[in-house]
Structure 1
Amino acid sequence: MTGKDDYYNRAKQEGYRARSAYKLQQLDETANLFDDGDTVVDLGAAPGGWLQVAAEEVGPQGKVVGVDLQRIDDLDAHQVSTIPGDMTEEETRDRLRRELGGSEADVVISDMAPNMTGEYELDHARSVHLARTAYETATEFLKPGGDFVAKVFQGKDLDDLEADIEESFQYVRRVDPDASRDSSSEVYLVAKGFTTAPVATGDQLTVEITDTGAEGDGIATVEGFTVFVAGADEGETVEVAVTDVKPNFAFAERVE
């Protein structure tokens, strides 16, 4: 028996519903996904191993909502709720909005996988489709600065998927948890720092400086988004180049 086969036995002994619970633990150790009190959305949550880990990590003040077409037996954790349904259907998305009570999620995680056909390219394509569905859900429900995790099978469309996700986050990396089986082609895309900024690094634009920040930088707003401009004074209208974009603000410099 290999070390990775031991995860199945460990799950039974430690009360987790699936060996995949250890994958999420290892993803969290690698990327620091969860904090006390976080709100987490778990897609493809059955049978509930990831729900158990997420509930442990966010604590009694947190909230964890699992979504899956399959039935998820109730967990002994008051902060966990479940929704039966398909995230491609608007009815399910409406139920998730109501369950979140109008709040946004700190983390969206997805362990969704297609029913395997044995045709590698087809299985890969289906896994990419599910990961894109999870990504679309994340962009709808995540708060700025939130994190996203999705499982996908390696293949020719992985680079494009990763590039698309990276457009909405500070960075994306591929993580292969030790708890994944040796024979598996799965990898997890871990995206940190969700941003809906209307500007991107390298953009050049003309802005009006309307205030001054604590560090003396000029402050402009672009579609309600804050941009700090070095060396600019209140009342000026200046052309700037964006140098760095964070989830809630950006930095820019004058273009001479």
Structure 2
Amino acid sequence: MARDHYYNKAKQEGYRSRAAYKLKQLDRLEDVIDRGDTVVDLGAAPGGWLEVAAEEVGPEGQVIGVDFQRIDDFADHDNVETLRGDMTEDKTRKRVVDAADGTVDAVISDMAPNMSGEYSLDQARSLHLARQAFETALELLEAGGDFVVKVFEGPDVDDFRADVEEEFQYVRATSPDASRDESSEVYFIGKGRLTAPVRPGDELEVEITDVGSEGDGIASVEGYRLFVPGAEDGETVAVRVEDVKPRFGFAQRVDRE
């Protein structure tokens, strides 16, 4: 059974929980954590995800773990800081922001409710925790940052995914091999936090203030660069936004349609 395999593997390799292999598999799938990153781990106890994240960011990176339960100190990882608190409270979020010094590259959450045994209730609580993690990610992540969150499958999960897709370049849903066979958990991986003031489909009037190396006009919308083919420096043009990346986007002229 996968359960026995990963439980035994964690014991042999010195991880605090079998969940460590879930994060390893998620990271391998979508490259969520890079060397030197600052990572915030929500619901971090007992610390399996913290150990994996600390290994991935290396000594030049930083990992901040938050949980309502106490997390034992790490003798082998100087780059891990733990905070005890409730992420639904503003004071805990402020402590995380202060610890991260304002720059966060990835927010990861393996939070789960205390199980009641009634699936509909547990699923609703799981979704509530996932939304709390999502709100925290929106507050903390830099442009281009990544987000991983667990949720139990059930009502309103599709709506939650749609909300995440609004804020990230793309979202992938997956169930790691390390999840228990009987588990209904699914992980959403949001890649590329979008902090742009525009979204695909928006129509607006912009002033072209520069020309890029490929000959496209460049406009600035609240400091965000928008590339507009067929536009020249000094023009004011009506455009429709076609694609939005974390740090720049593309638009097409609509004043010629």
Tell whether the structures are fold-level matches, with TM greater than 0.5. Answer: yes
Q: Which residue of 2 aligns with 1:99?
A: 99
Deviations along 1:70-97, one digit per CA (max 9) or x if unpaired, are 0000112111001100111111111111
Q: Which residue of 2 aligns with 1:162?
A: 161
Deviations along 1:88-111, one digit per CA (max 9) or x if unpaired, are 111111111111123x21110000
1:68/1:84 contact within 8 Å kept: yes
Shift of 1:4: 3.1
CA RMSD across the alignment = 0.9
Give the partner amino acid of 2:155. K
Write out aligned runs for 1:51-90 (5 A): 51-75=50-74, 76-90=76-90
Point out 4+ residue stretches in structure 1 off by more than 3 angstroms: none
Moved more, 126-135 or 225-234: 225-234
SS of the residue corresponding to residue 227 of structure 2 reads strand
2:2/2:180 contact within 8 Å kept: no
Alignment partners' CA distance in 2, 1:16 and 1:151: 20
Shift of 1:219: 1.0
Write out aligned runs for 1:181-200 (5 A): 181-200=180-199
Q: Which residue of 2 aligns with 1:139?
A: 138
1:4/1:178 contact within 8 Å kept: no
Alignment partners' CA distance in 1, 2:118 and 2:141: 34
Shift of 1:199: 1.0
Shift of 1:189: 0.7
SS of the residue corresponding to residue 209 of structure 1 reads strand
Alignment partners' CA distance in 1, 2:241 and 2:147: 25
SS of the residue corresponding to residue 214 of structure 2 reads coil
SS of the residue corresponding to residue 198 of structure 1 reads coil
SS of the residue corresponding to residue 46 of structure 1 reads coil
Unaligned runs of 5+ in 1: none
Unaligned runs of 5+ in 2: none
Aligned-residue identity in percent = 66
Alignment partners' CA distance in 2, 1:150 and 1:67: 14
Asked whether 1:43 is paired with 2:75, we answer: no
SS of the residue corresponding to residue 161 of structure 2 reads helix
Give the partner amino acid of 1:43. L
Normalising by the residue count of structure 1, what TM-score does the alignment of the two structures yield? 0.97
Shift of 1:175: 0.8
Deviations along 1:2-47, one digit per CA (max 9) or x if unpaired, are 1332111111111000000000000011111111101100000000
Alignment partners' CA distance in 2, 1:99 and 1:55: 16
Give the partner amino acid of 1:180. S
Shift of 1:214: 2.1
Normalising by the residue count of structure 2, what TM-score does the alignment of the two structures yield? 0.97
Shift of 1:203: 1.5
2:2/2:181 contact within 8 Å kept: no
Alignment partners' CA distance in 2, 1:141 and 1:228: 27
